[in-house]
Chains A and B, each alone.
Chain A
Amino acid sequence: RKEVEQDPGPFNVPEGATVAFNCTYSNSASQSFFWYRQDCRKEPKLLMSVYSSGNEDGRFTAQLNRASQYISLLIRDSKLSDSATYLCVVNDMDSSYKLIFGSGTRLLVRP
């Protein structure tokens, strides 16, 4: 089983739609989680950090379910500019310097 698993997508949604991505992680002791956004041929950019049960920032909501070992990212009122790959990231309990990256979920928002 991969340490961090994501549905690769692509998720193809119309503008204004609500879309949710799930991410599962294997180490139940993991304490902190992050969502990064990566545009094509660009660097990952931190979107949101999750240290407790969840976090919300405008149209973006992250929720953590420790019992089931998954994190979700909900995007409301999708914009064309939301089109990107969303990376789920989990801290490595064996080395707190190390973050474990998922392969990403690709989102395409169409007009």
Chain B
Amino acid sequence: ETGVTQTPRHLVMGMTNKKSLKCEQHLGHNAMYWYKQSAKKPLELMFVYSLEERVENNSVPSRFSPECPNSSHLFLHLHTLQPEDSALYLCASSQDPGTEYNEQFFGPGTRLTVL
């Protein structure tokens, strides 16, 4: 399935590194999302972009910086992360954001380890 793709799939970085996660959706959807999934915790929404405009920013630390250059691409820029930021980072997209029919489809995720 290639509806939503993410790269890289695995990333190991030091606390002083800068890296970026990339997400691309091929579904013609209008909204894209970043989620964080830590072990034994529910998915946590980080950011939402609808029609390339950021509509949600869930009190995420500034060391995470999203970018949405167009409706098909979403980036998450990472800098000076902490070990507790190690998690699975999932990208999702949906066709009808802002409605009750907000079915979201996920990419395979990037498994991030911060040393």
Q: Which residues of A contact B (CB under 8 A)?
A: 4, 31-32, 34, 41-46, 49, 51, 87, 91, 95-104
Contact of A43 with B107 at beta-carbon distance under 8 Å, contacts A32-B102, A97-B55, A98-B45 already known: yes
Whether A51 contacts B100 by the Cβ 8 Å rule is: yes
Contact of A97 with B48 at beta-carbon distance under 8 Å, contacts A32-B101, A51-B100, A103-B40 already known: yes
Whether B103 contacts A44 by the Cβ 8 Å rule is: no
Whether A97 contacts B50 by the Cβ 8 Å rule is: yes
Whether A96 contacts B108 by the Cβ 8 Å rule is: no
Whether A97 contacts B108 by the Cβ 8 Å rule is: no
Q: Which residues of B contact A (CB under 8 A)?
A: 31, 40-43, 45, 48, 50, 55-56, 88, 90, 97-109, 111
Greatest chain B CB density within 10 A among A51, A91, A99 is at A99
Which partner residue on chain B sits nearest A6 by CB separation? Answer: B42
Whether A99 contacts B45 by the Cβ 8 Å rule is: yes
Greatest chain B CB density within 10 A among A51, A96, A97, A102 is at A97
Whether A46 contacts B103 by the Cβ 8 Å rule is: yes
24 interchain pairs, CB-CB under 8 A? A4-B42, A31-B100, A32-B100, A32-B102, A42-B108, A43-B107, A43-B108, A44-B90, A91-B100, A95-B56, A96-B102, A97-B31, A97-B56, A97-B97, A97-B98, A97-B102, A98-B45, A98-B56, A99-B45, A99-B102, A99-B104, A103-B40, A103-B42, A104-B42
Whether A96 contacts B106 by the Cβ 8 Å rule is: no
Which partner residue on chain A sits nearest B31 by CB separation? Answer: A97
State in angstroms the CA–CA spacing of A45 and B90 once bound together: 12
Whether A44 contacts B48 by the Cβ 8 Å rule is: no
State in angstroms the CA–CA spacing of A56 and B81 once bound together: 44
B31 to chain A: which residues have CB within 8 Å?
97
A4 to chain B: which residues have CB within 8 Å?
42
Whether A44 contacts B43 by the Cβ 8 Å rule is: yes
Which partner residue on chain B sits nearest A92 by CB separation? Answer: B45
